[in-house]
């Protein structure tokens, strides 16, 4: 399972910062990008021109069991948290780094879940 990570807004200096010098948000995204690339390579997955994305956002550990049960598989609607456009951008930039402009149709949804994961499907 791969937890969805939004693409952060990077500065020029982020390009040169690595390891301990990288900002936490940037390092988290880089780790996510590496894991997604490896997963796609291991499964011989190529992103097509029409894509369906489903983001399952892990519920906070601080939530009670009751609150988690009430919210599982419900739409993730938290303002200023994991914007869907940044989640989409994180996936497309990793799986189509040079030609994500070729994608002409993209559907995306985000839900609360017990464990984070991403569903990626090519549509015909």
Delineate the domains of the chain, giving CATH numbers in brackets.
Answer: 12-122 (3.30.1330)
Q: What is the pLDDT of residue 55?
A: 96
Separation between Cα atoms, residue 49 and residue 34, nearest integer Å: 22
Q: What is the pLDDT of residue 36?
A: 95
Q: What is the pLDDT of residue 2?
A: 86
CA atoms within a 13 Å half-sphere pointing along the CA-CB vector of 116 = 14
Of 105, 2, 110, give the one whose Cα is nearest residue 47: 105
Spans in the chain with pLDDT lower than 50: none
Residue 112's beta-bridge partner residues?
57
Separation between Cα atoms, residue 74 and residue 105, nearest integer Å: 24
Of 101, 112, 107, give the one whose Cα is nearest residue 122: 107
Cα dihedral 118, 96, 86, 121 sign: negative
Q: What is the pLDDT of residue 26?
A: 82
DSSP letter for 93, please. Answer: H
Separation between Cα atoms, residue 118 and residue 87, nearest integer Å: 10
Q: What is the pLDDT of residue 20?
A: 66
The length of the chain is 124
């Amino acid at each position: 399972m791969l937890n969805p990570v939004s693409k952060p807004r990077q500065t020029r200096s982020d390009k040169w910062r690595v390891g301990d010098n990288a900002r936490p948000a940037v390092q988290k995204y880089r780790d996510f990008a590496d894991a997604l690339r490896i997963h796609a390579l291991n499964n011989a997955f190529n992103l097509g021109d029409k894509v369906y994305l489903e983001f399952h956002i892990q519920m906070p550990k601080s939530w009670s069991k009751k609150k988690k049960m009430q919210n599982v598989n419900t739409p993730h609607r938290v303002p200023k948290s994991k914007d869907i456009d940044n989640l989409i951008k994180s996936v497309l930039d990793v799986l189509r780094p040079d030609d994500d402009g070729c994608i002409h149709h993209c559907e995306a949804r985000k839900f609360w879940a017990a464990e984070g994961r991403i569903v990626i499907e090519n549509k015909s």
